Amino acid sequence: MKFKERVDKVFARYGEDFLINGTTPAKGFFQQLDTARMNMYFDSIEQASIVRPALIVMVPADASVSVGNTVTRDGRTYTVEKTSKQRVKNTVVMQILLLT
C-alpha cells in the first residue's frame, strides 16, 4: 500500500465531517491556530493580517477546495484564506487550509 493510500484511510476513518461551500461533504482534522503553528506556516507580514480566532484544517489531497471557499463545521462557517499542499516524493498526500 502506498503512503498516500494510508493517509487517505486515516482521514476516512478518523476525520471530522464538515462541508465545503455548504454542499460538498469532506473529512479533516481541525486545530486552533496558535503562535507555534503560525510561525511554521506564515511569515510575520502574513501573521499580522490573520483575523483571530482562526483554524487550520488538514484535508485529503483529493479534496476540491481553494482560497475563497467556505467550510462549515458545527454550524459555523469559515472562509479559506490560504492553502498548502503537502508532498512526499512529488505526490500530494494532504492539504492544509487556513480558515478565518
| Global confidence as pTM | 0.84
DSSP states of 76-100:
EEEEEEEEEEEEETTEEEEEEEEE-
Report d(CA 55, CA 96) in Å as an integer: 10
Confidence of residue 33 (pLDDT cuts 50, 70, 90): confident
Supply the pLDDT for residue 45.
83
For each of the domains in the chain, give its residue range(s) and CATH number, in order of start: 3-99 (2.40.10)
Supply the pLDDT for residue 78.
93
Is pLDDT at 1 greater than 70 in this prediction?
A: no
Q: pLDDT by residue (tens digit) across 45-96? A: 877 777 777 899 999 999 999 999 999 999 999 999 889 899 999 999 999 9
Contacts of 37 (CB under 8 A, 6+ apart): 31, 56
Supply the pLDDT for residue 41.
74
Supply the pLDDT for residue 10.
95
Report d(CA 72, CA 22) in Å as an integer: 6
Torsion angle of C-alpha atoms 40, 30, 21, 23, degrees rounded to 10: 150
Nearest C-alpha neighbor of 95 from the set 2, 17, 11: 11
